Amino acid sequence: MTIEVKDVDSLTEDEAVQALAALAAEIARHDQLYHQQDEPEISDADYDALRQRYAAIEDRFPDLVRQDSPSGKVGSAPSSGFSKVAHARPMLSLSNAFDDDDVTEFGARIRRFLGLDESDTVEIVAEPKIDGLSASLRYENGVFTLGATRGDGATGEDISANLRTISDIPETLPPEAPTTFEVRGEVYMSRDDFFTLNERQKSAGNKEFANPRNAAAGSLRQLDASITATRPLHFFAYSIGESSAVTGDTHWEFLSLLDRWGFSVNPLSRLCANSAEALALYREIAAGRSTLPYDIDGIVYKINRLDWQARLGMVSRAPRWAIAHKFAAEQAETVLHGISIQVGRTGALTPVAELEPITVGGVVVSRATLHNADEIERKDVRVGDTVVIQRAGDVIPQVVRAISEKRLEDSVPFQFPTHCPECGSLVLQEDGEVVRRCTGGLICPAQSLERLKHFVSRNAFDIEGFGGKHIEAFRNDGLIETPADIFRLANHADDIAKREGWGQQSLDNLLGAIEARRAVPLDRFIYALGVRQVGQSNARLLARHYGTYEGLALAISESTDPESEAYATLIAIDGIGPSVATDLIAFFSESHNRTVLEDLSEILEIEPFIQEESDSPIAGRTVVFTGTLEKMTRGEAKARAETLGAKVSGSVSKKTDYVVAGPGAGSKAKKAAELGLTILSEEEWLDMLGKVSTA
């Protein structure tokens, strides 16, 4: 089991979303079994453990509180809670930068994307990153009409009544404000108010809050707004949602408008002429951080020009035009009791530090990653050492260094195992790789178990109610060995029904959930295989390109010959390239895998890939860009084309639909002409896209 799964502190936000969804469903199922069917499947202690884990994750990610949050139901009459609000524009999160290099790379990426050179000025607005929870406020005709939590970014909860109790939030806006106007910002509690509130909670015999952010979240989540009114909450405004009118050309102008309209804008925010100025502000604020009346966990940099923001768009759930530069991690000293080795899905051996439990940045840490053998050697970390550990944002705790002055006299350097601790197979390190891997493949129980877990995981087959624990237990008892066995579990129904903790109902639920996944979209199927370097995004690229499982399997088998056209096509898929191709070909040629694949393709219905944007004229079409583009960079052109459902390829073939040729286009344009393909100028291409809504 990986430490991410075990440890709430090391969950990323995406993992937390998944964990909350899975736990909420699990808890609801047990509630139903207990209350409606009088047929509990688990002990009260196990049930409490589920709820505790849920609450711990929710405490850490107050922004992610779900509509169906089981924690909201504790001790209160069944209540529908807050009503749902679909956000008119998604509420985004931010990608993180942890050091100056990440910030420099952010600037460089933006210049590349927009096609700017060093002489162009890129202004940046730097703002403190407030450690609270975000809210969206909607004004219609100048009147506050609706306030919502972020929720999952697409849908939040209506907390209008609670937000109205916050004095920083104006009830009305001046006539110059747009008819429809949404502003987003952070609800937070000052440290002093937090301590006072906790005193009050304590003397009233109520639960104290762990930190100001949790206190703000707990206060905002009150179903009774009169309780919220007694909690001293504040609000800093920092971004826009839906708006019926344009609000200036830059983010800086927007902030000054907000200020004029009566919102609180963080006074430390500053317009910086370049990233060096932004970094200087970062250092200044970091140094004075502890003297601020409220918690901040970094500085957010935002590209000032709004037209550039629009062109930069977003990746996943975060804008390309902003980044959060996190403050350095909090550190602590503790003793390293041992180093254990985890074996992952692809055989990678990860050393894990087993520590004397210690509190770092408000949470207890007892394990930390040591990354790999080289890292242990470089840092010369030894069992028995006193070590410095740190937590940086959402990342798993790390061992920073050993304190040599405190080293025990008889300590010895750590010997990394030469054989897999799980199956005894030889451990090898491939050329150019830092990772050491177990060579046991599927005969290694750890690898095959991790592969099975990956196969049923949320972004793969997503089999409801069939988590890692079940997989492990079923595998240990010989009920499943390969992924296809999961779809044959019905043959073992009697065995399962007799197992402890299983009844007819839960068995039926499981078999139903498995059956529901017998038809699987191609991209999920590819991802579920767990090929090295093929995550969700590469799985989608492959699915989009090959369309069907048969098409993919044939293409990969033909690609074993590096001279073949199939291989040339594979590596030309933008984003794939020779390294991923090598892993794919190796996976598809390995004999155990071939058996598994044949078995699966017979037992499953692998659905052809469906283009998401079917109304786009370029959906499903293959496009090649060649020559110089004048209106945008290659990166931007590629991102736009892919957003509209096109496949972008690096080479021209019979299968190419459009070749967009700018000045200086050479052999590719010539080949396109020979093949009689449609060749477009950049102008014609943009005209074609112009007919499509990119909103």
**CB of 93 or CB of 447, closer to ligand IVH:** 93
Within 13 A of 416's CA, how many CA atoms are on the CB side?
A: 26
Provide, rounded to whole angstroms, the least separation between the CB of residue 318 and ligand IVH.
7
Provide, rounded to whole angstroms, the least separation between the CB of residue 342 and ligand IVH.
29
Tokens describing residue 497:
């029904």
Q: Where are the beta strands (DSSP E) in 482-565?
A: 519-521
**CB of 94 or CB of 471, closer to ligand IVH:** 94
Provide, rounded to whole angstroms, the least separation between the CB of residue 158 and ligand IVH.
18
Provide, rounded to whole angstroms, the least separation between the CB of residue 96 and ligand IVH.
8
Provide, rounded to whole angstroms, the least separation between the CB of residue 153 and ligand IVH.
9
Between CA 467 and CA 475, with CA 473 as vertex, the angle to 5 degrees is 100
**CB of 252 or CB of 658, closer to ligand IVH:** 252
Long-range contacts, 110-113 (Cβ 8 Å, 24+): 110/303, 110/308, 110/312, 110/320, 110/321, 112/633, 112/635, 113/311, 113/312, 113/320, 113/633, 113/635, 113/636, 113/639
Rounded Cα distance between 52 and 219, Å, is 20
Provide, rounded to whole angstroms, the least separation between the CB of residue 160 and ligand IVH.
18
**CB of 253 or CB of 462, closer to ligand IVH:** 253
Which of these, 232, 69, 87, lies nearest to 150 by C-alpha position? 87
3-state class of 607 per DSSP? Answer: strand
3-state class of 318 per DSSP? Answer: strand
Measured CA to CA in angstroms, residue 88 lies from 79, 134, 155, 173, 320 at distances of: 26, 15, 9, 20, 20
Rounded Cα distance between 127 and 414, Å, is 44
**CB of 213 or CB of 454, closer to ligand IVH:** 213
Rounded Cα distance between 168 and 145, Å, is 16
Rounded Cα distance between 157 and 2, Å, is 33
Tokens describing residue 623:
């496009």
Provide, rounded to whole angstroms, the least separation between the CB of residue 133 and ligand IVH.
6
Return the DSSP state at 328.
P
**CB of 321 or CB of 549, closer to ligand IVH:** 321
Rounded Cα distance between 30 and 27, Å, is 5
Provide, rounded to whole angstroms, the least separation between the CB of residue 669 and ligand IVH.
39
Lookup result for tokens 């202690």: 45
**CB of 87 or CB of 231, closer to ligand IVH:** 87
Measured CA to CA in angstroms, residue 331 lies from 228, 288, 399 at distances of: 35, 18, 10
Q: What is the pairing mode between strands 647-649 and 622-626? A: parallel
**CB of 278 or CB of 373, closer to ligand IVH:** 278
Provide, rounded to whole angstroms, the least separation between the CB of residue 681 and ligand IVH.
34
Which of these, 595, 579, 327, lies nearest to 481 by C-alpha position? 595
**CB of 88 or CB of 364, closer to ligand IVH:** 88
Task: State the helix-helix crossing angle for 549-558 and 536-546, rounded to 10 degrees.
Answer: 90
**CB of 137 or CB of 322, closer to ligand IVH:** 322
Interface residues with ligand IVH (CB under 6 A) are: 92-94, 127, 129-130, 134, 186, 238-239, 300, 319, 322, 324
Sign of CA dihedral 517, 518, 519, 521: positive
**CB of 275 or CB of 506, closer to ligand IVH:** 275
Catalytic pick among 6, 73, 84, 129: 129
Phi/psi for 445 (5° steps) reads -60, -35
Rounded Cα distance between 112 and 105, Å, is 10
- Per the rule left: phi > 0, alpha: psi between -120 and 50, beta: everything else, 390 is beta
**CB of 208 or CB of 277, closer to ligand IVH:** 277
Provide, rounded to whole angstroms, the least separation between the CB of residue 157 and ligand IVH.
15
Q: Which amino acid is at 392?
A: A
Provide, rounded to whole angstroms, the least separation between the CB of residue 88 and ligand IVH.
14
Evaluate whether 69 touches 149 at the Cβ level (below 8 Å): no
Task: State the helix-helix crossing angle for 549-558 and 565-572, rounded to 10 degrees.
Answer: 120
**CB of 152 or CB of 636, closer to ligand IVH:** 152
Rounded Cα distance between 151 and 220, Å, is 13
Residue nearest to ligand IVH as judged by C-beta position: 134
655 in active site: no
Residues found in the chain: 695
Q: Which helix (H) or strand (E) holds 677?
A: none
Long-range contacts, 684-693 (Cβ 8 Å, 24+): 685/658, 685/660, 686/631, 688/617, 688/618, 689/618, 689/640, 689/644, 691/617, 692/613, 692/615, 692/616, 692/617, 692/618, 692/644
Q: Which amino acid is at 524?
A: R
Provide, rounded to whole angstroms, the least separation between the CB of residue 247 and ligand IVH.
15
Provide, rounded to whole angstroms, the least separation between the CB of residue 322 and ligand IVH.
6
Active site residues: 129
